[in-house]
Chain A
Amino acid sequence: MAFWDRNKNSQGLRVIKTARDKDSINKAAKSGFKPLIKKVEPSDKIRSKYSVVQNKKTGEIEIVGDYRGGFYADDNNDFETVIDWTFYYPHSFKSPFAAYLIPKDIKVGERVFIEDLIEDYIGASWNQGDTYRLESSEAIWNGTDVEIQYDPRTNRSDFIG
């Protein structure tokens, strides 16, 4: 793999880290960062679905996430649906707040790369109704806040990695 500077992204933008608890926020503050505190607020636009089927003989369960049939289809008499299709918010953050760690030397208007977004934006969606969080985004520092440069074209159905 080519050399990769973890403090810059592939476009050469400075990477803004996120701290997700009190201790790491205070540690960063002591190291010279300005923590920009944000609430962690789940969006109802982010949702995954599941269904639970149970083996009638063994009691064991399986979690299903795809409408497309197969093993758990109705003709498989060993299983019965015990929880029908249900959409839910699939993330659980241990702290209800988090902070972007802003470097002291950041310039107003500087474009940066936020590695771990606190806010919920749709990053991927599936034609079965599930939507997934955008993990990272470019943003612009306006002097008091980061303006997330959300591009709806990032709402895709494919993953690379």
Chain B
Amino acid sequence: MKFDPLTKDIYTDKDQFVKTMNCPYKMTWDNLEATNSTLRKCANCDHLIVDTDVLTDDDLLNVVRQNPDTCLKIDLNQHNIKIISNGILGQK
């Protein structure tokens, strides 16, 4: 799994685009209701948030394909992720 913290884009290790992270409520993991160790629920939109720390690339693609609105949690320090920087950002 690859993640660009500047664009919030997630890719698989084979550079397949997964999704762009966006939370209109600016929620944090601690704000979410724990349902089990890898899932939390958002009180604002009823979405489940999946902790990607436990997902393989195939798992990740399956989750997002089944429901493109699935929210994800990514930690920069988790073991199964590589941080990428495309170095170019669109101007605001």
Residues on A facing B (Cβ under 8 Å): 1-2, 4, 9-10, 20, 48-50, 63-66, 68, 70, 90-94, 116, 124-128, 130, 132, 135-136, 154, 156-161
* Distance of B79 from chain A, by nearest CB (Å): 9
Residue B82 at the A interface, CB < 8 A?
yes
CB distance A1 to B69 under 8 Å? yes
CB distance A159 to B5 under 8 Å? yes
Known contacts A4-B24, A63-B87: does B44 contact A130 (CB below 8 Å)?
no
Q: Which residue of A lies closest to B46 (CB)?
A: A2
Which residues of A lie under 8 Å from residue B71 when comparing CB positions?
Answer: 160-161
* Distance of B19 from chain A, by nearest CB (Å): 8
Q: Which residue of A lies closest to B53 (CB)?
A: A158
Which residues of B lie under 8 Å from residue A157 when comparing CB positions?
Answer: 75-77
CB distance B84 to A65 under 8 Å? yes
CB distance B82 to A1 under 8 Å? no
CB distance A160 to B73 under 8 Å? yes
Interface residue SS majority, chain B: loop
Residue B72 at the A interface, CB < 8 A?
yes
What number of residue pairs across chains A and B have CB atoms under 8 A from each other? 107
Known contacts A9-B26, A158-B29, A160-B21: does B5 contact A124 (CB below 8 Å)?
yes
* Distance of A23 from chain B, by nearest CB (Å): 14
Residues on B facing A (Cβ under 8 Å): 3-6, 8, 20-29, 32, 44-47, 49, 69, 71-77, 82-87, 89, 91-92
Interface residue SS majority, chain A: loop
Interface centre among B3, B22, B83 (most CB of A within 10 A): B83
* Distance of B91 from chain A, by nearest CB (Å): 4
Which residues of B lie under 8 Å from residue A126 when comparing CB positions?
Answer: 5, 76-77, 83
